[in-house]
Amino acid sequence: METGGGGVSGRRLVLSLAMWAGLALVVGGVTVLGLRLLARRWAAGHAADVGAILIAEAYLTLLVALLLSFGGPAGLRDRLRFRFTSVVDIVLALAAWVGALLVGGFLTAALTPLLGQPESNTETLLRQSFDPLFVAVIVPTVCVLAPACEELLFRGALFGWLMRRIPVPAAVVLTAAAFAGAHLLPTLLPVLFVFGLAATLVRLRTDSTLNSFAMHATQNTFAVLATYAVLTQGAR
């Protein structure tokens, strides 16, 4: 195991978050204003499509902010460790995903009396519309763009910064907790936390956020396919 992550400073981390907030506000504002001026009637009748576009823009601006803050594609590779290590590492990462899914599901079920009935945010999002534009925007965003950006931010930047300043076990737990909390889904905190632990440990063991991305993208794609299967059955 290597211990990469050099170059992840607090200044770069804060810069990326501040830049993301600014870019997201500007790009989202321009989109909303442009639609009001040029396509008001269409936007009024396609609120789900507009929402999907804004979500995609939020993640795209995060990616741009990370690229600018950490030195472009080379920075994502060298500082945030988004790099290929081996096929074996990817296979082991997917095995870790299966384990995390089982353990997280068990904990979520056990804590349901305390936290409440878990509700899938994927189902809430996807049931908004079956419009082709909505599907064409939201599916790649959820399955690829969001996992890539979140892994770069949490397992790349945040963990890369924490592991150089506090004991590694504490950095793993804090990264997983930040990841789970950022989703703002109290009923799903157990499964999100367990997934966060597994993904962070994979990142630590392999020194690669590409491997934790493989886990994350698989998780989100599985959730999307399962949700659409349920929604399609319900529509019959």
The total number of residues written for the chain in this structure:
236
pLDDT, greater one: 205 or 233: 205
Q: For position 236, what pLDDT does the model report?
A: 57
Nearest to 193 by CA among 182, 209, 177: 177
Is the pLDDT confidence value at 6 over 70?
no
Confidence of residue 233 (pLDDT cuts 50, 70, 90): confident
Which two tokens mark 96? 């870790």
pLDDT, greater one: 234 or 190: 190
Write out pLDDT tens, residues 156-201.
999 999 999 999 999 999 999 999 999 999 999 999 999 999 999 9
Is the pLDDT confidence value at 234 over 70?
no
Write out pLDDT tens, residues 25-35.
999 999 999 99
Average pLDDT, the chain: 94
Q: For position 21, what pLDDT does the model report?
A: 98
Q: For position 190, what pLDDT does the model report?
A: 95
Angstrom distances, CA of residue 24 to CA of 29, 32, 55, 133, 153: 8, 12, 10, 21, 15
Rounded to an integer, the average pLDDT of 87-113 is 96
The answer to whether 122 and 227 are in contact (CB under 8 A) is: yes
Q: For position 5, what pLDDT does the model report?
A: 45
Q: For position 121, what pLDDT does the model report?
A: 86
Write out pLDDT tens, residues 39-84.
999 999 999 999 999 999 999 999 999 999 999 999 999 999 999 9
User: Does the global pTM surpass 0.75?
Assistant: yes
Domain ranges, ordered by start, for the chain: 10-235
Q: For position 1, what pLDDT does the model report?
A: 43
Q: For position 205, what pLDDT does the model report?
A: 97
Over the chain, what HEC string results?
A: CCCCCCCCCHHHHHHHHHHHHHHHHHHHHHHHHHHHHHCHHHHHHCHHHHHHHHHHHHHHHHHHHHHHHHCHHHHHHHCCCCCCCCHHHHHHHHHHHHHHHHHHHHHHHHCHHHHCCCCCHHHHHHCCCCCHHHHHHHHHHHHHHHHHHHHHHHHHHHHHHHCCCCCHHHHHHHHHHHHHHHCCCHHHHHHHHHHHHHHHHHHHHHCCHHHHHHHHHHHHHHHHHHHHHHHHHHHC
Q: What percentage of the chain reaches a pLDDT higher than 70?
A: 96
Confidence of residue 113 (pLDDT cuts 50, 70, 90): very high
